[in-house]
Amino acid sequence: MSSRPLNILQIVPSISLVYGGPSQMVRGLAAALARQPEQAVTNVTVITTDSNGDVDEAPLDVPLGKPVEEDGYDVIYFRCSPFRRYKFSTALLSWLWANAHRYDIAHIHALFSPVSTAAATVCRWKNLPYIMRPLGTLDPADLQKKKQIKKIYAALLERPNLAGATAIHFTSELESKVSERFGVDTPDMVVPLGVALPKLPSRETAQAAVRERFNIPATHPIVLFMSRIDPKKGFDLLLPTLERLHQNQQNFHFLLCGANPQDREYESRIYEQIQSSAWAEWATVSGFVSGELKAQILSAADVFVLPSYYENFGIAVAEAMAAKLPVVISDQVHIWPAIEAAEAGWVVTTEVESLEKALSTALADEGERERRGENARQCAREKYGWDAIAKRLIGEYRGATRQ
């Protein structure tokens, strides 16, 4: 059996950080694959669009149609055209048609996205083996959104793409268990997402900087939400919970770091609810954060919260864990079994009472927060380190290409 080095292609609608976890994941994966020995990997290329939000943002300011080296791998950006809202790119598909023969495997990230759908079709026509990662879109709860359109879309386009894939990449056993397959028998590939262990400032330095920047009293533990602002994230549970904690005079400061470039109206409604609440002085809305400020916030926070109604993995949770933050998550965030087993935080049901109890417990006990935070970092290091995941994926890629 041949074991020659692989030429690997990653295909994703966008890697702009405004889209959150999926974009960060592809960057982290590509870099980890590129770090593998030369006898395992020859080249890693990411093809994507210049999309940088769907409503009011300018496209990414990047060179188009030519390789841009980023952390050991190449990214080729293509103009979103003719449909910016849906991240479609005829130029990307033309490039893929002409260059598919240069690669051994394609890893396609997203379903129900026109450019990834069309890319899978091109791979099939060009006999390039491909793996599809659905990003949670096969979860029954997610399929309920625009149900009739998705039903038609799946029957005409995604079902043939799933049937033609060498594997469907799920990021947790729970995601694999609940996901719809539309009647196809394509093998599952369960490999978690990775997270880079962040280089953080000292907690003392970060606390001083963040509390001064956002005017947070030293007596108020920081409850951090750092994810996309979306109905599925459980804001209808989180905001009433914070209201109850305030009524019970339990000190906290809620720091909301996130945005929704696809639904500014919902984003604005959440901001308004917080600003008009009785606990508005105990909250800060920062918008999307990155870089040094993000590192400071992760280091300064006391507890991370994400009570989602469904989450196929939860890259933001793994990132918080890597930063030594204890997490409070719902049992619909599909990495919850690992959190529970490691005692890396608190797992709750999607009910206000359950969330209130967990947050109240976390806020009241600094020592327990520290213990669970240490467990969280160790769990992230052992289960979600990128290099180990890259090695696993290379084995999967070889199986898919029969090398």
Residue in this structure with the two tokens 């599952």, named with its chain if needed: 188
- Dihedral of CA atoms 300, 306, 312, 313 in degrees, nearest 10, equals 20
Considering the domain architecture, whether residues 181 and 210 belong to the same structural domain is answered as no
Residue 311 vs residue 346, higher pLDDT: 346
Structural domain includes residue 296: yes
Look at residue 285 in the predicted model and tell me its pLDDT: 96
Considering the domain architecture, whether residues 190 and 212 belong to the same structural domain is answered as no
- Once rounded to an integer, what is the mean pLDDT over residues 385-397? 91
Q: What is the mean pLDDT of the chain?
A: 91
Look at residue 30 in the predicted model and tell me its pLDDT: 95
Look at residue 213 in the predicted model and tell me its pLDDT: 96
Structural domain includes residue 86: yes
Burial of 11 (0-12, 13-18, 19+ CB in 10 A): buried
- Once rounded to an integer, what is the mean pLDDT over residues 281-302? 93
What is the C-alpha separation between 294 and 29, in angstroms, rounded? Answer: 20
- Once rounded to an integer, what is the mean pLDDT over residues 283-287? 94
Considering the domain architecture, whether residues 215 and 144 belong to the same structural domain is answered as no
Look at residue 83 in the predicted model and tell me its pLDDT: 64
Q: For the chain, give the percent of residues with pLDDT over 70.
A: 96
Considering the domain architecture, whether residues 168 and 20 belong to the same structural domain is answered as yes
- Once rounded to an integer, what is the mean pLDDT over residues 176-189? 90
Structural domain includes residue 42: yes
∠ CA 250-314-140, rounded to 5°: 110
- DSSP three-state, residue 68: strand
Look at residue 172 in the predicted model and tell me its pLDDT: 87
Look at residue 400 in the predicted model and tell me its pLDDT: 86
- Determine which of 130-134, 310-314, 376-380 has the lowest per-residue pLDDT on average: 310-314
Residue 311 vs residue 375, higher pLDDT: 375
Considering the domain architecture, whether residues 91 and 183 belong to the same structural domain is answered as yes
Look at residue 84 in the predicted model and tell me its pLDDT: 64
Considering the domain architecture, whether residues 323 and 335 belong to the same structural domain is answered as yes
Considering the domain architecture, whether residues 149 and 263 belong to the same structural domain is answered as no
Under 8 Å between Cβ of 4 and 399: no
> Is the whole model's pTM more than 0.85, yes or no?
no
Number of Cβ atoms within 10 Å of the Cβ of 305 = 31
DSSP state of 237: H
Q: For 183-238, what is each residue's pLDDT tens digit?
A: 899 999 999 988 876 688 999 999 999 999 999 999 999 999 999 999 999 999 99
Structural domain includes residue 58: yes
Under 8 Å between Cβ of 385 and 194: yes
Look at residue 227 in the predicted model and tell me its pLDDT: 92
Q: For 95-131, what is each residue's pLDDT tens digit?
A: 999 999 999 999 999 888 889 999 999 999 999 999 9
For residue 361, pLDDT beyond 50 = yes
- DSSP three-state, residue 69: strand
- Once rounded to an integer, what is the mean pLDDT over residues 322-347? 95
H or E, element range at 93: helix 90-99
Q: For 130-164, what is each residue's pLDDT tens digit?
A: 999 998 878 877 777 777 887 888 778 889 999 99
DSSP string across 266-309: HHHHHHHHHHTSTTGGGEEE--S--HHHHHHHHHH-SEEEE--S
For residue 34, pLDDT beyond 50 = yes
Q: Which residue type sits at 155?
A: A
What tokens appear for 25 in the block? Answer: 């994941």
Considering the domain architecture, whether residues 137 and 246 belong to the same structural domain is answered as no
Domain that residue 208 falls in: 203-383
Considering the domain architecture, whether residues 153 and 211 belong to the same structural domain is answered as no
Residue 372 vs residue 82, higher pLDDT: 372
Structural domain includes residue 1: no
DSSP state of 169: E
Structural domain includes residue 290: yes
- Once rounded to an integer, what is the mean pLDDT over residues 351-364? 98
Structural domain includes residue 230: yes
For residue 17, pLDDT beyond 80 = no
CATH number for 57: 3.40.50.2000
Considering the domain architecture, whether residues 170 and 289 belong to the same structural domain is answered as no
Considering the domain architecture, whether residues 174 and 39 belong to the same structural domain is answered as yes
Q: Which residue type sits at 153?
A: Y
Residue 195 vs residue 30, higher pLDDT: 30
Structural domain includes residue 134: yes
- Once rounded to an integer, what is the mean pLDDT over residues 371-378? 96
Residue 291 vs residue 358, higher pLDDT: 358
* Count of domains observed in the chain: 2
Look at residue 1 in the predicted model and tell me its pLDDT: 40
Considering the domain architecture, whether residues 358 and 390 belong to the same structural domain is answered as no
